[in-house]
Amino acid sequence: MSVADIRQQAINQGLVAEISGATLWRWLSSDALRPWQHRSWIFPRDPDFAVKAGLILDLYSRIWQGIPLGSDDFVISADEKTSVQARRRKQSTLPMASNRPMRIEHEYFREGAWTYLAAWDVHRAKVFGRCEAKTGIAPVNRLVSEVMSQEPYKSASRVFWIMDNCSAHRGKKAADRLRSQWPNLLLIHTPIHASWLNQIEIYFSIVQRKVLTPNDFKSLAELEQRLLAFQRYYEQTAKPFKWTFTRGDLQTLLAKIDAKRLTPAA
């Protein structure tokens, strides 16, 4: 909605006989109103949201069931980034030059897509990843095996895997399946619609900015090579993410959401 639209509505509804754009801007600014903007959000739908989220926040603070984790306990955050496309531009990209940004052709050929599966050691700042043709139980098992078959995870007392509710690792069945293969693995699910609690999403956002933007790859092989090379490069200077959202913050947020939920719609 533009200022001109708001002005016309104010006149049509009889709020004013006439008003200038400058005056309207002043009114909106004084009340900090921006009717041309909107923000999407979603109410928590998981009945056990607080409990599940609390467990994950505790693990980030190296606590499990009220007891500090031991030195041989590890926390892994994992997920899939689906449909990572290789887009070959119809004209060659021109590199940046003095006083000129990179120029990239808008149109492209689709060279296929990977599912990029990655796991992030929350406290050691180690990243593991692989490209698969599609997602599913078998690709997830290959990622988990890649991590769990090497030290220190192979001999660890416990390795907590934080994952969402994707069909490839959903529910108790998936937890039991993984535990049967790796007895020291504990699968911890995020609440429904709570990917923001999973630290691997932070790494995926870094990959999106630094590897996939702009998307200009001649082939799937080049895309895979770039993703895996970035993992090695990133680990050279990586540090654990500075996670500051606590259980207290969670309770404050849920209280605000409950207040909104109880407010009747206009």
pLDDT tens sequence across 196-222: 999 999 999 999 999 999 999 999 999
Read off the pLDDT of residues 130-158 as tens digits, 9 standing for 90 and up: 999 999 999 999 999 999 999 999 999 99
Q: What percent of the chain is modeled with pLDDT above 90?
A: 66
Whether pLDDT at 32 is above 90: no
How much is the pLDDT for 209? 96
Chain region(s) in the chain for CATH 3.30.420.10 = 49-247
Q: Tell me if the bond preceding 47 is cis, omega within 30° of 0.
A: no
Query: Residue 44: which pLDDT band, with cuts at 50, 70 and 90?
Result: confident
For residue 260, the surrounding DSSP H or E stretch is helix 247-262
The yes or no reply on domain 49-247 and CATH 1.20.58.2030 is no
Please give the C-alpha separations between residue 203 and each of 78, 174, 213, 227, in angstroms, as whole numbers.
10, 24, 14, 12
Task: Copy the structure tokens of residue 6.
Answer: 């708001």
- For the chain, helix (H) and strand (E) counts, in that order, are 8, 7
CA angle 257, 260, 264 (to 5 degrees): 155
Q: Report the C-alpha gap between 226 and 212 in whole angstroms.
A: 9
Phi, psi dihedrals of residue 182, rounded to the nearest 5°: -130, 95
Phi, psi of 223, rounded to the nearest 5 degrees: -60, -45
The per-residue pLDDT for 263 is 63
CA atoms of 121 and 76, how far apart (whole Å): 5
